[in-house]
């Protein structure tokens, strides 16, 4: 019984942090999506060139590219702000874990079911990948091109962030739907109200 209660309840700090991390993460992905599509600087440049041609204005490609970059900048600044917020939340997450204990099982433990092991492994991999995104992002921004080789490597790793992010969100939501339909009904609402403490 004790085991059931422990498994199904989430502390207030855990819940607040979960939702803040989830929202900030989704916001960061939104900025990436805008950068790659709608607010892509080349797309904006194409629109500028097209409109200039319609109005019989000579618009060099280089100038149109610069306009694209300037239009995108205020949007992209939010990627960086949200990135720093997420970095802060990550540090708070680690501190709260230290105080309140881990929020998922150790995937290497012998005393857990294989379902629990897979779930915990996914969370652990997520936290490691998130650390890499935050570290490489902060490096690109704060240290910049001081060491060109390191900068290129950091950037190369950072831009891969999109792949694990999408994979994690898909697995996470699919896992939650299966849990809701199976043996862990109400798991999502417990992440809102906490469940029995
Ligand atoms: C509507 C969307 C979401 C819902 C309903 C949701 C719900 C939940 C629930 C119920 C748990 C507990 C599962 C368990 O005990 O194993 C959980 C854990 C977790 N969720 Fe979400 N989640 C959502 C979105 C996200 C997003 C976008 C992220 C980050 C990208 C995220 C990251 C995590 C992590 C890392 C855990 C492991 C425990 C922790 O660190 O808090 N979730 N989520
Ligand atoms: C979960 C956290 C993060 C994710 C998922 C993420 C994801 C991404 C992705 C996918 C790109 C490539 C965008 C593209 O080329 O279209 C990117 C670029 C970038 N990110 Fe992040 N990021 C995160 C955190 C951060 C943080 C913490 C910072 C800095 C404080 C940061 C700074 C940057 C910068 C400066 C670029 C542009 C790199 C370039 O010059 O092309 N990111 N990010």
d(CA 96, CA 99): 5
Domain 2-193 = CATH 1.20.1160:
no
Domain residues of the chain, as ranges? 2-193
How many A from CA of 137 to the centre of ligand 2? 6
C-alpha distances in Å from residue 70, one per residue of 29, 100, 117: 21, 45, 47
d(CA 22, CA 167): 14
Q: How confident is the model at residue 3, as a pLDDT?
A: 39
pLDDT digits (tens, 9 = 90+) for 63-113: 999 999 999 999 999 999 999 999 999 999 999 999 999 999 999 999 999
pLDDT digits (tens, 9 = 90+) for 132-150: 999 999 999 999 999 999 9
- For the Cβ of 176 lying below 6 angstroms from any atom of ligand 1, the answer is yes
d(CA 37, CA 90): 28
- Average predicted confidence (pLDDT) for the chain: 94
pLDDT band at 196 (very low <50, low <70, confident <90, very high): low
Neighbours of 194 (CB within 10 A): 15
Phi, psi angles (nearest 5°) of residue 80: -70, -45
Nearest ligand (C-alpha, residue 154): 2
């Amino acid at each position: 019984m004790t085991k059931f209660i422990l498994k199904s309840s989430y502390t207030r700090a855990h819940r607040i942090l979960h939702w803040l991390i989830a929202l900030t993460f989704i916001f960061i992905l939104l900025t990436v999506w805008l950068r790659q599509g709608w607010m892509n600087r080349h797309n904006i440049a194409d629109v500028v060139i097209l409109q200039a041609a319609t109005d019989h204005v000579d618009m060099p490609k280089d100038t149109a590219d610069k306009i694209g970059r300037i239009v995108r900048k205020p949007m992209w600044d939010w990627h960086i702000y949200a990135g720093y917020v997420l970095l802060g939340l990550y540090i708070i997450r680690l501190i709260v874990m230290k105080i309140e204990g881990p929020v998922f099982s150790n995937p290497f433990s012998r005393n857990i079911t294989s379902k629990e092991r897979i779930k915990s492994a996914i969370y652990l991999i997520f936290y490691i990948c998130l650390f890499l995104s935050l570290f490489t992002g902060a490096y690109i921004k704060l240290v910049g091109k001081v060491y060109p080789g390191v900068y290129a490597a950091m950037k190369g790793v950072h831009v891969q962030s999109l792949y694990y992010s999408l994979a994690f969100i898909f697995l996470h939501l699919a896992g939650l739907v299966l849990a809701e339909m199976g043996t862990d009904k109400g798991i999502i609402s417990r992440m809102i109200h906490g469940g029995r403490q």
